[in-house]
Chain A
């Protein structure tokens, strides 16, 4: 039996979320402790059962400090997925499940804390010691610019319009309006999107994810232990990490990925691995949480994951397919990184779990499977297919 048959997500926890620099009365580390305590409470488990700690690139708070602050007696596994930003998020869930499946841990917490008001901003220049010399002297400084280049090529190849970008922003905002945790809940129209200021052409302000403060966590344990806990367990039907050959740092490097891969989000190999493991096809998905650092990333991901054909991501979105409740594949049902909060995608995993429990504020009727994708402009990618147990 694989880890898909032996493990489950049993707890989800969040601190409060706020706009960047709105949470200054309590530290990022304290928010993280709140989130992990909340996840254990949500699971209905003794927090001392947590003996493994997983995160992914750009997490600041080491497991040894988390263990110390929460007074946990055992640390049996401590693990970080490579890569900056959100690309490793689903990979961290995968590692947690592997550690439980291997019998190394009872319960593993996967966590992310990110207060851009207390530390650096991801929308501003950050030095990149590897590869940065070939970008920064030319003013290529931030992820919005990295992906603007790949998405511009997508527009050129397929005629994708910025109307598709507007639809992604407006659809996810409409989902966020139902979610009391979401940071951006004010109404957003197509006209608002098109009138917002340009950041990196073709991306406007509302094409870019939020800059927020907050922390969140999930707990993975054995399926056997899960049966005695509070909620219907969420199975990890499949988990995968991958990068297309020759991608390297891709758009966060010198843009020398294979020409045929250029206008993608480096997830075609990932999709093969993921659906191969799950034994289902994209048409079997009931709901999706797609990494939405930028609207254009969503369009390209729809194609990479085979939800629509290459070049069809724009029309697919424009037809309303991402909208709850009537779209073919309601996506980012809590508002996503664009409108709920920017927790490097771990909040997308949490929303996937809520959908599998039937607890979302934009619940898809009888949802049995949810795709969660991780990563936008950065190097390798990861993804999950969650299932209701």
Chain B
């Protein structure tokens, strides 16, 4: 699949970064998957938040992670729940348990499989999808 073929149709909401998660999206736009990691105790956390839930330290780094993971759960969306999805679908939505980031999960899509092929336990790798705004969204391919 090429970067120009988007998995979902244009018109869906795009990330609207705030001061808590700006670093995450800025790295995505450079095709780097970096997850917030506590500088004091090393615990990974997501989505980005000001304080480490494990030790309450507010010091952190954006730690690069391998960009591989496992499908933790999935659904196939059939019903058009947004005007941009009328006449489109079905499409998969997955929760990916990341490798090398404690128990951090990310919501995403596996772009290169038929809807009924997605299953829990499937190994996936990052697929950077170019956005109309010139950035990148983290989606997934079968490993």
Taking Cβ atoms with an 8 Å cutoff, the residues of A that contact B are 123-125, 127, 129, 131-142, 144-145, 148-150, 152-153, 156, 197-202, 246, 253-256, 258-259, 262
Answer yes or no: B47 CB below 8 A from chain A CBs: yes
Q: Out of A137, A150, A201, name the residue touching B76 (CB < 8 Å).
A: A201
* Binary contact track B57-95/A, C-beta < 8 Å → 1, others 0: 000000000000000111111110110010000110101
**A132 proximity list for chain B (CB < 8 A):** 13, 16
Please determine whether B78 and A198 come into contact, CB atoms closer than 8 angstroms: yes
**B15 proximity list for chain A (CB < 8 A):** 133-134, 137
A262, B105: Cα distance in complex, Å:
11
Quick one: which of B86-131 are within 8 Å of A by CB? Answer: 90-91, 93, 95, 103-109, 120
**A129 proximity list for chain B (CB < 8 A):** 16
Most chain A beta-carbon contacts within 10 A, residue among B8, B74, B81, B137: B81
Please determine whether A201 and B109 come into contact, CB atoms closer than 8 angstroms: no
Task: Give, as a whole number of angstroms, the nearest-CB distance from B95 to chain A.
Answer: 5
Task: Give, as a whole number of angstroms, the nearest-CB distance from B110 to chain A.
Answer: 11
A156, B71: Cα distance in complex, Å:
12
For residue A146, which residue of chain B has the nearest CB? Answer: B75
**B106 proximity list for chain A (CB < 8 A):** 134, 254
Task: Give, as a whole number of angstroms, the nearest-CB distance from B125 to chain A.
Answer: 16
A197, B46: Cα distance in complex, Å:
34
A127, B13: Cα distance in complex, Å:
9
Known pairs A144-B79, A255-B95. 17 more at Cβ < 8 A?
A133-B13, A135-B107, A137-B13, A137-B15, A138-B137, A139-B109, A140-B93, A141-B81, A149-B75, A152-B73, A152-B74, A198-B90, A254-B105, A255-B105, A255-B107, A256-B45, A256-B47
* Known A134-B107, A150-B73, A156-B120: A200·B78 in contact at CB below 8 Å: yes
21 contacts between A and B (CB under 8 A): A123-B81, A125-B82, A133-B21, A133-B25, A134-B21, A134-B47, A134-B106, A137-B13, A137-B15, A137-B137, A138-B8, A138-B109, A139-B77, A139-B93, A140-B93, A141-B77, A149-B74, A152-B75, A198-B79, A199-B78, A200-B78
Please determine whether A138 and B104 come into contact, CB atoms closer than 8 angstroms: no
* Known A145-B93, A152-B73: A136·B12 in contact at CB below 8 Å: yes
Q: What number of A-B contacts does a CB cutoff of 8 Å give?
A: 117
Please determine whether B47 and A148 come into contact, CB atoms closer than 8 angstroms: no
**A145 proximity list for chain B (CB < 8 A):** 75, 77, 81, 93
* Binary contact track B1-39/A, C-beta < 8 Å → 1, others 0: 000000010001111111001000100000000000000
Please determine whether B47 and A201 come into contact, CB atoms closer than 8 angstroms: no
Going nearest first, the 3 A-B pairs with the smallest beta carbon separation are A148-B75, A136-B13, A201-B76
Task: Give, as a whole number of angstroms, the nearest-CB distance from B17 to chain A.
Answer: 7
A145, B89: Cα distance in complex, Å:
14
A346, B137: Cα distance in complex, Å:
40
A156, B119: Cα distance in complex, Å:
10
Most chain B beta-carbon contacts within 10 A, residue among A138, A142, A258: A138
A144, B93: Cα distance in complex, Å:
12
For residue A131, which residue of chain B has the nearest CB? Answer: B47
A197, B12: Cα distance in complex, Å:
23
A123, B85: Cα distance in complex, Å:
14
Q: Out of A133, A138, A254, name the residue touching B16 (CB < 8 Å).
A: A133
A133, B82: Cα distance in complex, Å:
15
Task: Give, as a whole number of angstroms, the nearest-CB distance from B137 to chain A.
Answer: 6
Please determine whether A197 and B78 come into contact, CB atoms closer than 8 angstroms: yes
Q: Out of A142, A246, A255, A256, name the residue touching B81 (CB < 8 Å).
A: A142
Task: Give, as a whole number of angstroms, the nearest-CB distance from A40 to chain B.
Answer: 39
* Known A138-B107, A140-B107: A153·B73 in contact at CB below 8 Å: yes
Task: Give, as a whole number of angstroms, the nearest-CB distance from B103 to chain A.
Answer: 5
A123, B81: Cα distance in complex, Å:
7
Task: Give, as a whole number of angstroms, the nearest-CB distance from A300 to chain B.
Answer: 13
For residue B14, which residue of chain A has the nearest CB? Answer: A137
**B72 proximity list for chain A (CB < 8 A):** 153, 255, 262
Task: Give, as a whole number of angstroms, the nearest-CB distance from B44 to chain A.
Answer: 10
Please determine whether B105 and A256 come into contact, CB atoms closer than 8 angstroms: yes
**B13 proximity list for chain A (CB < 8 A):** 125, 127, 132-133, 136-137
Please determine whether B105 and A138 come into contact, CB atoms closer than 8 angstroms: no
Answer yes or no: B50 CB below 8 A from chain A CBs: no
Task: Give, as a whole number of angstroms, the nearest-CB distance from A351 to chain B.
Answer: 28
* Known A123-B81, A127-B13: A246·B53 in contact at CB below 8 Å: yes
For residue A132, which residue of chain B has the nearest CB? Answer: B13
For residue A205, which residue of chain B has the nearest CB? Answer: B79
Q: Out of A134, A139, A148, name the residue touching B91 (CB < 8 Å).
A: A139
Task: Give, as a whole number of angstroms, the nearest-CB distance from B93 to chain A.
Answer: 5
A137, B95: Cα distance in complex, Å:
14
Most chain B beta-carbon contacts within 10 A, residue among A134, A135, A137: A137
